[in-house]
């Protein structure tokens, strides 16, 4: 049986403003899987999954052995509200894109199966402390810490080795005081060599590799203290300094397909300085099934856009970025192949 690599807490959070707890598809119970832990040290020197890697050309240039390893050995637990669906619905649609993608990017939702990426959606909220709401990290900024501990300490989640949280509206939240130190605490406890990893009572076999996330762009309100651009800089600087992986929502939201930065863009590709919606324009001038794919509500499910978007490109790009991260965790150093 295949083993599961490192666990990522994609430490990305969601805020109360504009986000809903879109968890109607959460499954009831999971079978308890067998567990073996294999840990690899992160290689390479690029740690931010930004607009430069959120491209199909990059995805197709990742050595296939690392995609295979990620698919077969990683188990992701993801907690989010509405903006977080950009990742999940992109991942669910990708297997139906091109020939061979069903096998290469195979994924199962809220189950454990051999040969596909195990993806536990809305996985952690039920583990919140009494009186606290851990549907995302913004509604109760520190609730994610104990909720994640409770989740990882439950033996039925022992196979999980990737944990992700997503931001919704990051504006005004205490990234330096709550988010970054909270993530570091979890790394110290559940990361490689962490105090809660090992044999014996109160320990788990699987080490956890924590992945960070920036917040989505806010149209016309990205710059200035406490706003998405500054918050993204704080998170990315922390990750680069400490060699931690981050899915950079803000970068992907504010860069069009020609790599131009639109500072006033929002979470849907709309920008006044651009004069419209660059992601809609790109989608309308390209062909579905060749240049982009349809996002899905679940693997093999109905077509469904990422929340707060009117086009498929945003979620496509965030799924590409997520597979880049999973490949990096699986031993890839980031060097692309033809």
Assigned domain for 173 exists: yes
Assigned domain for 34 exists: no
Token pair in block for residue 123: 């996985």
Assigned domain for 2 exists: no
Q: Measure Cα distances from 204 to 4, 37, 128, 329 in Å.
A: 13, 10, 19, 19
DSSP state of 177: I
pLDDT at position 268 is 98
Decide if pLDDT at 338 tops 90: no
Assigned domain for 307 exists: yes
Token pair in block for residue 168: 């919704």
Q: Report pLDDT digits (tens) over 10-29.
A: 443 333 345 665 554 444 44
SS (H, E, C) 31-48: CCCCCCECCCCCCCCCCE
Assigned domain for 335 exists: no
Assigned domain for 219 exists: yes
Which element (helix H / strand E) includes 9? strand 9-11
Assigned domain for 25 exists: no
Token pair in block for residue 223: 């710059």
5 confidence band (pLDDT: 50, 70, 90): very low
Assigned domain for 234 exists: yes
Decide if pLDDT at 118 tops 80: yes
Q: Report pLDDT digits (tens) over 39-71.
A: 467 889 999 999 999 999 999 999 999 999 999
At how many degrees (to 10) do helices 180-190 and 143-153 cross? 20
Q: Report pLDDT digits (tens) over 300-328.
A: 999 999 999 999 999 999 999 999 999 99
Three-class secondary structure of residue 204 per DSSP: strand
Give the residue numbers spanning the domain of 110.
9-20+41-329
Number of domain units in the chain: 1
Count other C-beta atoms under 10 Å from residue 140's C-beta: 17
Count other C-beta atoms under 10 Å from residue 260's C-beta: 13
């Amino acid at each position: 049986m295949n083993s599961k690599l490192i666990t990522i807490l994609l430490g990305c959070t969601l805020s109360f403003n504009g986000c809903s707890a879109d968890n109607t598809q959460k499954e009831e119970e999971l079978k308890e899987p067998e567990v073996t832990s294999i840990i690899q040290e992160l290689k390479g020197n690029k740690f931010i999954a930004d607009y430069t890697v959120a491209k199909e050309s990059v995805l197709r240039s990742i050595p296939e052995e690392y995609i295979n390893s990620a698919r077969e050995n990683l188990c992701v637990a993801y907690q989010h509200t509405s903006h977080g669906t950009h990742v999940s619905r992109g991942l669910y649609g990708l297997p139906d894109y091109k020939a061979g993608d069903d096998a290469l990017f195979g994924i199962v939702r809220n189950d454990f199966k051999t040969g596909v990426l195990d993806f536990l959606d809305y996985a952690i909220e039920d583990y919140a402390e009494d009186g606290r709401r851990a549907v995302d990290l913004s509604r109760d900024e520190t609730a994610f810490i104990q909720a994640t501990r409770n989740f990882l300490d439950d033996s039925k989640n022992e196979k999980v080795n990737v944990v992700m949280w997503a931001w919704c509206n990051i504006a005004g939240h205490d990234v330096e005081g709550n988010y970054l130190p909270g993530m570091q605490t979890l790394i110290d406890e559940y990361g490689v060599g962490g105090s809660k990893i090992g044999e014996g009572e109160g320990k788990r076999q699987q080490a956890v590799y924590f992945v960070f996330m920036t917040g989505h762009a806010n149209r016309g309100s990205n710059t200035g203290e406490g706003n998405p651009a500054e918050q993204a800089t704080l998170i990315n600087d922390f990750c680069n300094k400490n060699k931690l992986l981050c899915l950079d929502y803000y970068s992907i939201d504010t860069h069009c397909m020609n790599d131009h930065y639109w500072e006033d863009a929002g979470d849907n590709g709309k920008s006044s300085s651009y004069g419209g919606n660059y992601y809609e324009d790109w989608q309308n001038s390209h062909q579905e099934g060749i240049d982009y794919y349809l996002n899905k509500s679940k693997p093999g499910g109905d077509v469904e856009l990422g929340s707060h978007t009117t086009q498929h490109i945003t979620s496509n790009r965030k799924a590409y970025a997520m597979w880049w991260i999973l490949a990096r965790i699986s031993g890839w150093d980031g060097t692309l192949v033809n």
